[in-house]
Amino acid sequence: MKKILKGLAICLLTLFFVYETGFAATLTTTPDPYKITMKKVRLQNAVTDEWVTVGEGDLTIDIASVNAGELAAGYVTGNEVPEGSYDNIEVTLSTSVIIKASCTDTGGVFAGGAAGDVWYTTSTAGVSGSVAASKTVGSYSEGTATIPSTVAGVSGDTYTKTYALPTTIVVAKGSTQKVRVKFEVANSATFQDTGLGTAVAYPSEPTVEMQIIN
């Protein structure tokens, strides 16, 4: 017997962007938007270790938006899942992540800059998969960062990672469980000094609150 999954929202992958530059100064700010593209979600049976696909296909979500959790839940709503206990979730995303953000260097910590300089993301690619930043407001736009190929879980243009669920999901005839998820993207965009008058930006780890409701 299979049960219709009524709203399992996936947890967001932790994005590890590593940039090797000779400058360490960084500033953080809140991006808007912060877009990810989901490609597949699977659950692992706690007894048999078998994986069950509960969502598949491209869905781009702005996790900075107020309805991001609802959209993520809709990715798998209505899919059938065999009865059993599930304790792990595997999420596959596109390696491309879109952000737009601006940041004020209030302390003048970037080389060759001054206190009060404002940096903006641009549509130009930066080093190591980052987004080039500019102090020209006219260049302010969304930029596409790419999760580096050196990060574990990256294969081609996808990034896959497995997480332990906070509580085992038990799928039984007549039962219903939902997972609520809330994304918090405050200070999840990082601007990094890359030299005299240059900088890049990239998405950093957001906070994800996930709750399973019986």
- pLDDT confidence tier of residue 145, bands split at 50, 70 and 90: very high
Percentage of the chain with pLDDT > 70?
80
Is it the case that residue 111 has pLDDT exceeding 70? yes
- Over the stretch 67-78, which tens digit does the pLDDT of each residue have? 777 777 677 765
Q: Which residue has the higher pLDDT, 12 or 210?
A: 210
Instruction: Count CA within 13 A, CB hemisphere, residue 186.
Output: 2
Cα end-to-end span (Å), the chain:
20
Is it the case that residue 5 has pLDDT exceeding 90? no
Cα(5)–Cα(75) distance, rounded to whole angstroms?
11
Please, what sign has the CA dihedral across residues 192, 194, 195, 198?
A: negative
Cα(183)–Cα(166) distance, rounded to whole angstroms?
16
Is it the case that residue 170 has pLDDT exceeding 70? yes
Is it the case that residue 109 has pLDDT exceeding 50? yes
Show the CA angle centred on residue 90, arms to residues 89 and 95, nearest 5°. 145
Instruction: Count CA within 13 A, CB hemisphere, residue 207.
Output: 6
- Over the stretch 177-196, which tens digit does the pLDDT of each residue have? 666 677 888 999 999 998 87
Q: Give the model's pLDDT for residue 23.
A: 52
Q: Which residue has the higher pLDDT, 167 or 199?
A: 199
pTM, rounded to two decimals = 0.84
Average pLDDT over residues 30-57: 93
Q: Of 29-38, 77-86, 99-108, which range is least confident? A: 77-86
Q: Give the model's pLDDT for residue 21.
A: 45
Is it the case that residue 61 has pLDDT exceeding 80? yes
Is it the case that residue 80 has pLDDT exceeding 80? no
